[in-house]
Amino acid sequence: MPYLFTSESVSEGHPDKVADQISDALIDHFLAFDPNSKVACETLVTTGQVVLAGEVNTNTYLDVQTIARDVIMKIGYTKADYMFEANSCGVISAIHEQSADINQGVDRKSDDGFEAKANAQGAGDQGMMFGYATVETDNYMPLALDLSHKILQELADVRRENKRIKYLRPDAKAQVTIEYSDSNKPQRIDTIVVSTQHDDFAEDEEMLAKIKSDIINYVIPRVKKKLKPSLKKLFNDQIQYHINPTGKFVIGGPHGDTGLTGRKIIVDTYGGKGAHGGGAFSGKDPSKVDRSAAYATRHIAKNLVAAGVASEVLVQVSYAIGVAKPCGIFVDTYGTAKVKGADGKKMKDGEIAKIVERIFDMRPYAIEQRLKLRTPIYSETAAYGHMGREPQTVTKVFENAGQKVEQEVELFTWEKLDYIDQVKQAFGL
């Protein structure tokens, strides 16, 4: 029996994403000026106001007001009409020193050497983290979420071009529903929902008709044009479109809805596919396994699928606070495993997990080193998903209180397919 599956995304101007981007900009600046910083910072945004709170253990001082305003400016909140504007909003900081009780389990002293450091650095918290990958798309992401991200990225590009469509404001959401076959293959797009903030530029009926026409006839074709032929075929004349279905959407962003760091964890990961351990990413340095281990499990899942171990993989890892070795690693291939054991029979998921444990060192320090996480790479993750992005090397420049740091960094290292050969060798592929 065919079934429907839906995922959503939110734009960089969504209030929760504004909060995420400010928190991750702070992380990047702390790491740029002190790579050993331990940070957990939360952001709240509302009408004309930004509140920063959290715990920090660092040797640097940041001008957090300027950093927050720069993020808001870049997103596009630059007009007083938005009731939340980069230069005029208030920024209150309640960031304080990290608890010594927490830090003692993470920052134990160790002798030099990888093994000593890896065994000494415990997990920043207890909990479980999940990584997921599927052959459904070229970036091994669930299709509904991938399309939702692409729609909003295109909408943001159109907004910044300010040529064909000039009324767009930063806040937006998109949702895509895919019809799947009994064999879990995408068959067609059933529904597309787009809600975009906009200027009040005409009478309601005329305005809504114009927005609907522009999204369906201009934005969606731009998205479709960038897709490979097999995905273009999923678009047809029977798609149900709901464009700003509640009516006009002039009041939006932090003025329309309070935003908080870490409130879009499903958007950030797999759109409801696979599983989620509950921990948010933004605002946390890589000693927090909520973030680093989630990246590491995505790295594992993607390399397993790309190597041909299975068509779909979910990987779970769990930790005790202050303890380096994981409590356990779990693998679920949803019955799609393609590898055989020594007895010639299809390998059980438990057997796969044991091999994964041998290939990938999941101690927090080892994850940080393998994925190069103690560098300022996090601002780019804070909108349009932390997973499924393109790995790249860039040069970033950070300025703070008269200091300037220029650093070459690798973005989205957990998306690299750099363990395929090791995985194939371990599984005899």
Residues in the annotated binding site for ATP: 14, 171-173, 248-249, 257, 263-264, 280, 284
Q: Which two tokens stand for residue 71?
A: 């993020």
Q: Is 221 exposed, middle or buried (0-12, 13-18, 19+ CB in 10 A)?
A: exposed
* Helical residues (DSSP H) of 141-203, grouped into ranges: 143-161
**Which residues contribute to the annotated binding site?**
14, 16, 42, 55, 98, 171-173, 248-249, 257, 263-264, 280, 284, 288
Contact 196, 168 (CB under 8 A): yes
The answer to whether residues 139 and 298 touch, using CB atoms and an 8 Å cutoff, is no
Any alpha helices (H) in 185-243, and if so which ranges? 204-214, 220-225, 229-232
Q: Which residues are annotated as a binding site for K(+)?
A: 42
Q: Residue 48, CB half-sphere, CA atoms under 13 Å: how many?
A: 4
Binding residues for Mg(2+): 16
List, in sequence order, every beta strand (DSSP E) within 236-303.
240-243, 259-260
CA 283 from chain center: how many Å?
12
Token digits of residue 294:
């989630």
Nearest CA to 187 among 230, 150, 237, 141? 230
Per-residue HEC secondary structure of 356-392 comes to HHHHCCCCHHHHHHHHCCCCCCCHHHCCCCCCCCCCE
Residues in the chain: 429
Rounded-to-integer distance, Cα 406 and Cα 245, Å: 45
Residue 400, both tokens:
């703070």
Dist. CA 310–CA 326, nearest whole Å: 24
Can you read off the two tokens belonging to residue 247? 């009516």
Residue stretches of the annotated binding site for L-methionine: 55, 98, 257, 288
Determine the Cα–Cα distance for residues 336 and 357; give it in Å rounded to an integer.
20
Other C-beta atoms lying within 10 Å of the C-beta of residue 229: 6
Query: Residue 356: which of 118, 113, 131 has the closest Cα?
Result: 131
- The total of other beta-carbon atoms located within 10 Å of residue 353's CB is 17
Distance between start and end Cα atoms, the chain: 33
